[in-house]
């Protein structure tokens, strides 16, 4: 069977940087690596704990919106903990692209930087990307700049017939939810690092020390090359 690399992509923040920061997460999964087993284990833990299997969406979980409207704060904390365990067990790596209003001054500049950084990601790991016969890209086209940058980086740097852009159903694909989780935790890290964490952050993640030990330290082990841009 031809080798395939799956990319699952999510972002958090507004491209006008009105929220102060913007972040893109790219989750890399080699198609032959088993994700069914850890997902089945995760779903079993939810059943044993009497928790509803709500597709992970970090912003809604933290604020009790949408599918979490009728889920108690206690159960939302438990769902966060269980999903963190799932992500740690998945055979994936990831890269985050971080942007802050302090060093990115317009939407045009943000779009240019996303294009540059995604292209650099591919160039920096060109042998790895070229070792696959195809690359399946799962992204919901939520932000034009990200969509355009993906096409620029993959179609131009690799080959136009290598990347396969697919429909991204967030509710059905656990790896898209994993990308969402990474966005949630990495964005919280930016807030803690700047001393701008909110009561909601502290309610779900605890103090900065607790957050770093329980969430960030575990997550960074999944970073591609152990680093981020």
Residue pLDDT, tens place only, 200-219: 999 999 999 999 999 999 99
Give the chain's domains with CATH numbers: 4-181 (3.30.420)
pLDDT higher than threshold 80 for residue 74: yes
What is the mean pLDDT of the segment spanning 140-168?
72
Which of 18-22, 104-108, 135-139, 205-209 has the highest mean predicted lDDT (pLDDT)? 205-209
Does residue 26 register a pLDDT over 90?
yes
Q: What is the pLDDT of residue 1?
A: 55
Rounded CA-CA distance 77/61 in Å is 8
Per-residue pLDDT tens digits for 114-129: 888 988 898 899 889 8
Is residue 29 within 8 Å of residue 8, measured between CB atoms?
yes
For residue 48, how many other CB atoms are within 10 A of its CB? 8
d(CA 138, CA 175): 9
Q: List b or e across 80-95, with b for residues whose CB sees 16 or more CB atoms inside 10 angstroms.
A: bebbbebbeebebbbb
| Average confidence score pLDDT of the chain | 89
Select from 182, 27, 13 the least CA-distant residue to 104.
Answer: 13
- Report the pLDDT averaged over residues 4-27: 88
Does pLDDT of 163 surpass 50?
Answer: yes
Task: Assign 228 a pLDDT band (cuts: 50, 70, 90).
Answer: very low
Q: Could you report the per-residue pLDDT of 78-88, keeping only the tens digit for each?
A: 999 999 999 99
Judge contact between 138 and 178, C-beta under 8 A.
no
Asked whether the predicted pLDDT for residue 226 surpasses 60, the reply is no
Model-level pTM?
0.91
């Amino acid at each position: 069977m031809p080798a395939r690399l799956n990319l699952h992509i999510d972002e958090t923040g507004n491209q006008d940087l009105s929220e102060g920061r913007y972040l893109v997460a790219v989750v890399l999964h080699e198609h032959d690596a088993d994700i069914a087993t850890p997902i089945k284990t995760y779903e079993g833990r939810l059943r044993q704990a009497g928790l509803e299997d709500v597709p992970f969406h970090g912003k809604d979980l933290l604020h009790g919106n949408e599918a979490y409207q009728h889920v108690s704060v206690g159960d939302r904390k438990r769902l966060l903990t269980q999903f963190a365990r799932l992500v740690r067990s998945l055979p994936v790596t990831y890269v985050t692209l971080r942007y802050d209003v302090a060093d990115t001054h317009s939407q045009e500049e943000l779009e240019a930087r996303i294009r540059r950084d995604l292209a650099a990601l591919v160039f920096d790991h060109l042998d790895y990307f070229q070792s696959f016969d195809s690359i399946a890209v799962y992204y919901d086209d939520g932000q034009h700049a990200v969509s355009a940058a993906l096409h620029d980086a993959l179609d131009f740097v690799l080959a136009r017939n290598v990347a396969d852009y697919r429909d991204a159903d967030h509710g059905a694909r656990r790896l898209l939810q994993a990308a969402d989780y990474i966005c949630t935790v990495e964005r919280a890290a930016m807030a803690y690092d700047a001393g701008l964490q909110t009561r909601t952050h502290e309610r779900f993640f605890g103090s900065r020390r607790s957050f770093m030990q329980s969430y960030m330290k575990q997550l960074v082990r999944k970073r591609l090359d152990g680093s981020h841009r």
